[in-house]
Chains A and B, each alone.
Chain A
Amino acid sequence: AQSVAQPEDQVNVAEGNPLTVKCTYSVSGNPYLFWYVQYPNRGLQFLLKYITGDNLVKGSYGFEAEFNKSQTSFHLKKPSALVSDSALYFCAVSQYSGYALNFGKGTSLLVTP
């Protein structure tokens, strides 16, 4: 079985400060990990993914995530938050032996001016 957990329902950050949105996963094999963002009344947008290779993955809009196999984590980070980053962020996991993509429950990011 595969699952993903986002332990924080909401993260609040001041504009200009670094942000981290946490994600931990559980799979029986090697994971495929994704981050998506959802703005109000919109579909999800792909940010970045880890399939294999370098543990530090860079994605859209200045976001990056680090794959940590020992801690089974894939936290999303950005060095300097923007108000426009305020949205709902989803972590998702899959693995080769299955084809479904399991999403976390989402973390609401609020960046205040």
Chain B
Amino acid sequence: DSGVTQTPKHLITATGQRVTLRCSPRSGDLSVYWYQQSLDQGLQFLIQYYNGEERAKGNILERFSAQQFPDLHSELNLSSLELGDSALYFCASSVDGIRDEQYFGPGTRLTVT
């Protein structure tokens, strides 16, 4: 158990809908990262937050947004969902920044029908 929790574990929704994925980092970790894993794209970095502020942005679509709250939990919002958004979404946390190892949550499997 990494100490990172993600909810829900599975999510099935229809095209055009909006969903919110939630992540709670390990106790004491200030950075939260979001990743998308799919068979064709592999593991793609989406976005990083550090202590409530956006620190780095990767291949995140404009339809996607995220935030980190004062209690350090984070949410990833996916809107206008398309079939191609079906993937495993991971949250990870680390103590500080990019030199620190990241601890991954179990993931949320999103299926868009």
Contact = CB atoms under 8 A, between A and B. Distances in A.
Interface of A: 32, 34, 36, 42-46, 49, 51, 90, 94, 96, 98-106
Contacts of A96: 98
Given A43-B2, A106-B43, A101 B102 contact: yes
28 contacts: A36-B104, A43-B4, A43-B104, A43-B106, A44-B90, A44-B92, A44-B102, A44-B104, A45-B104, A46-B103, A49-B101, A51-B99, A96-B98, A98-B56, A98-B98, A99-B48, A99-B56, A99-B98, A100-B45, A100-B48, A100-B56, A100-B57, A100-B58, A101-B33, A103-B43, A105-B42, A105-B43, A106-B43
Contacts of A36: 104
A101 B98 contact: yes
Contacts of B98: 32, 94, 96, 98-101
B106 A32 contact: no
Interface of B: 2, 4, 33, 35, 42-45, 48, 55-58, 90, 92, 97-99, 101-107
Given A32-B99, A99-B97, A102-B45, A43 B56 contact: no
A102 B45 CA distance: 7
Closest 7 CB pairs of A and B: A43-B104, A99-B56, A46-B101, A103-B43, A44-B104, A105-B42, A94-B98
A99 B55 contact: yes
Given A43-B4, A103-B45, A34 B107 contact: no
Contacts of B99: 32, 49, 51
Contacts of A49: 99, 101
Contact of A42 (B55, B102, B106): B106
B101 A34 contact: yes
A42, A90, A98, A101: most-surrounded residue (chain B CB, <10 A): A101
Given A43-B4, A44-B43, A103-B42, 5 more contacts: A44-B102, A49-B99, A98-B98, A99-B56, A100-B58
Given A98-B56, A99-B56, A105-B42, A43 B101 contact: no
